[in-house]
Structure 1
């Protein structure tokens, strides 16, 4: 409730930008006093510690998008287009345009706290959802053709704030940053692994990253889960062909 009061006050003082800052400030107070997001059922299932509305999630997601886009010190039009196209395909043109207007305001702000946003999301989302979120952010970084070292560093920092394990981070990164043993990195195993270990790793990863595990109504996160699941399958098929595994 406090965050919405902050947003209204901020709007009257400094317009949309003030509303955004007021919203974030109010969110912090909501967290401190244990308030829960109102206006509906949690979109992340019963095992989340607190509920989060779709609007809350989208706003925080867009804020992380802006952080990744600015990570290498320049704003890439391809990365911005990636976000726009993704949201149009996910939410429809009308809603996406409204979301992107907010995104433009977020992107102008210099001091959006990744740690605060990630703490907010970590307390309200399942681990599987945060994995899909990280996957989505990697997709943005790669939209201009490559992922720079500053972008990798920022994504690693965000992953830490989201409480994503190092091995899971390396597995997701391998889906975007290619290397000779890329397929093995995706399955989180060494190239020296036995065929049985490869099969077990694939079963574990397929179970871990199956879209049904995400349990969310947010279409952007669902699509990210489907993409990652396909990458796991592709990695296993590549190793199968290399080794002749039946």
Structure 2
């Protein structure tokens, strides 16, 4: 019922596009009916600065994922499969299939406001959670083995809307590109950095990306945090080997 109410209200305000978005969000609310925690609609009733639940977070992430998938002008099956697997790991097969069915049906035609979604997430999620959003979006783009320039531009735009600073964006981006500067970019330092600066950078980045910072979120997010943490450690070990310390 909620999905149809959402479609009607959306049509009243934004015609066909509004109806599509309203139906999608209503469907997700129906599918999440048995989930503990706040519903998607109650998220909009919360006070600014209040954290959203993992379920609310995932609903917004779903929309951002579709923007990245469509960024290069094609809908790649491996990217869709990555999102499906992520949902299964986060919420279980039954609910993931119900949600992904709607996602898959509208991804080729849906218009989404990244600005509105990111503004909401920026107000109501921790900074480290927003860093994990970027890591997830890059993982989607990389699901076919290659992150295109258009995908990078789209994620960069999303990062700006989320209030993620440029150095943090470049750090996460470097985790998906292998080049001589990748280790330095992951640690957010220049090639001219001294041994002491490298060590200090490693301590700072290890703290920033430590999995404990996402303990409040689902296991799928925590795994992403562990991967970022591992990339930081690998970058530091690479520079240790190159510099001989």
CA distance in 2, matches of 1:175, 1:64: 20
Q: Which residue pairs with 1:68 in the alignment? A: 68
CA distance in 1, matches of 2:101, 2:24: 16
Q: Which residue pairs with 1:178 in the alignment? A: 178
For the Cα contact (< 8 Å) 2:211–2:225, is it kept in 1? Answer: yes
Q: Which residue pairs with 1:149 in the alignment? A: 149
Q: Which residue pairs with 1:21 in the alignment? A: 22
For the Cα contact (< 8 Å) 1:175–1:186, is it kept in 2? Answer: yes
CA distance in 1, matches of 2:204, 2:122: 23
For the Cα contact (< 8 Å) 1:132–1:221, is it kept in 2? Answer: yes
CA distance in 1, matches of 2:127, 2:139: 19
Q: Does 1:192 align with 2:192?
A: yes
Following superposition of structure 1 onto structure 2, how do residues 35-114 of structure 1 map, counting pairs within 5 Å? 38-39=38-39, 49-114=49-114
Do the aligned partners of residues 39 and 88 (structure 1) sit closer, same or farther apart at CA in structure 2, a change above 3 Å counting? Answer: closer
For the Cα contact (< 8 Å) 1:10–1:22, is it kept in 2? Answer: no
Do the aligned partners of residues 83 and 39 (structure 1) sit closer, same or farther apart at CA in structure 2, a change above 3 Å counting? Answer: closer
Tell me the C-alpha RMSD between the 2 structures. Answer: 3.2
What TM-score does the superposition give when structure 1 sets the normalisation length?
0.81
Q: Which residue pairs with 2:33 in the alignment? A: none
CA distance in 2, matches of 1:119, 1:160: 10
Q: Per-residue displacement from partner, 1:163-213 (whole Å, max 9, x unpaired)?
A: 000000011100012211211110011112111111000000001110112
Between 103-112 and 193-202, report the one with greater CA deviation: 103-112
Structure 1 gaps of 5+ residues are: 26-36
For the Cα contact (< 8 Å) 1:6–1:19, is it kept in 2? Answer: no
Q: Which residue pairs with 1:117 in the alignment? A: 117
Do the aligned partners of residues 227 and 130 (structure 1) sit closer, same or farther apart at CA in structure 2, a change above 3 Å counting? Answer: same
CA distance in 2, matches of 1:208, 1:12: 43
Deviation (angstroms), 1:19: 6.5
For the Cα contact (< 8 Å) 2:24–2:102, is it kept in 1? Answer: no
CA distance in 1, matches of 2:99, 2:23: 18
Corresponding pairs, count: 227
What TM-score does the superposition give when structure 2 sets the normalisation length?
0.82
CA distance in 1, matches of 2:140, 2:64: 10
Between 174-183 and 216-225, report the one with greater CA deviation: 216-225
CA distance in 2, matches of 1:105, 1:55: 21
CA distance in 2, matches of 1:200, 1:206: 10
Do the aligned partners of residues 176 and 133 (structure 1) sit closer, same or farther apart at CA in structure 2, a change above 3 Å counting? Answer: same
